[in-house]
A = this chain, B = another copy of it.
């Protein structure tokens, strides 16, 4: 089967899953849109899409729980998700000429007239898929990777169950929010009766120049120190699972996702000097304190004339620096989130019941092993980072994201 066939919308019109691996059909001649090829991110390949590519403007993360306990249903879901993802990422949505008018359309139609806008879909498997309270629903527990640990409880965690966990993760990213939504809807529809959405979070980024480090909602450049996805050696060292992992996961990665609520209202009342001391960088340039260029080295040992560290050792930059974490690095791929406002208790004096933004950072990172990646870097940070005065982790998930699929395969196929 060639990619062209897999990418065809008509591919789906037969309905049956069997068709997904046997019955390609000609691409519709009525294609309303012929998007520039650059708007399509490759789907098939050694690695899944949506990991090494820069974070686009919009994301929609969904964690699903399996309703079915049948291994075949899980395989079936992964097959149809894979085929739909290959289809949507490579071909802009086209209006469906239905073969059977008694069937509902496969897709919502909401993206007809739009390009793919760089659409990617990335899939992951949570620890509970392998072992849910001691039950091995899908006959997978023997293949659970040692590194797929439940995250420990970190200092300050205020996790709410409805923003945590999940058997499966699907993350949809694109530069157009409506393209993201249409893809999400199709994923949800294909899961109907097999899996149910457990939690979801949308996110966004501003249209910063690709050559610039984007600013986050706190106004600081975010991601100055990050694994470079352009350096294969760094990706192999820190991100992609290699020979140390199980065969089915090689070329994949572990994803940690944490919605981090930020008390924007308080942050906005802080002086510039305090904000910069807290972050450990200058706000305008992103440079280390006392330096002028964003990519100047942190030089964390520098002291002022009184012998005090110039970059506070409990600043965010110092605590996250590889030199303070035994060289540990992660590939951050973060978004902002904003769920509007909520009525909550403040955790900042004077403690009171107030209306605040439910907004912050949809933190997300990929690593070769969460134990030596996020868990290592965040454990001390969770205890003493000055930034914690303004941030609260309210959700959490860890997912093993398998390698990419080749045409004719489905995501996670080698696990089964």
Give chain A's interface residues, CB within 8 Å of chain B: 57-58, 60, 62, 95-96, 98, 101-105, 107-114, 117, 162, 176-179, 181, 185, 188-189, 192, 196-202, 204-209, 212, 215-220, 264-265, 267-273, 275, 283-284, 336, 338-341, 343, 354-355, 357, 359
Contact = CB atoms under 8 A, between A and B. Distances in A.
Contacts of A111: 206, 215
A269 B340 contact: no
Contacts of A200: 340-341
List 7 tightest A-B contacts by C-beta distance, closest first.
A109-B219, A178-B206, A200-B340, A95-B284, A177-B204, A108-B219, A200-B341
Nearest to A104: B269
Given A271-B102, A273-B101, A113 B208 contact: yes
A287 to B, nearest CB: 13
Contacts of A117: 207
A49 to B, nearest CB: 20
A39 to B, nearest CB: 11
Contacts of A185: 264, 268, 357
A181 to B, nearest CB: 6
8 contacts: A104-B270, A108-B267, A109-B284, A177-B338, A181-B336, A188-B357, A189-B265, A339-B340
Contacts of A57: 177
A204 B58 CA distance: 11
Contacts of A108: 217-219, 264, 267-268
Nearest to A175: B207
A200 B339 CA distance: 9
B217 A181 contact: yes
Contacts of A219: 105, 107-110, 112
Given A189-B265, A268-B185, A338 B202 contact: yes
Given A57-B177, A185-B357, A189-B269, 6 more contacts: A96-B272, A110-B219, A117-B207, A178-B204, A181-B359, A202-B340
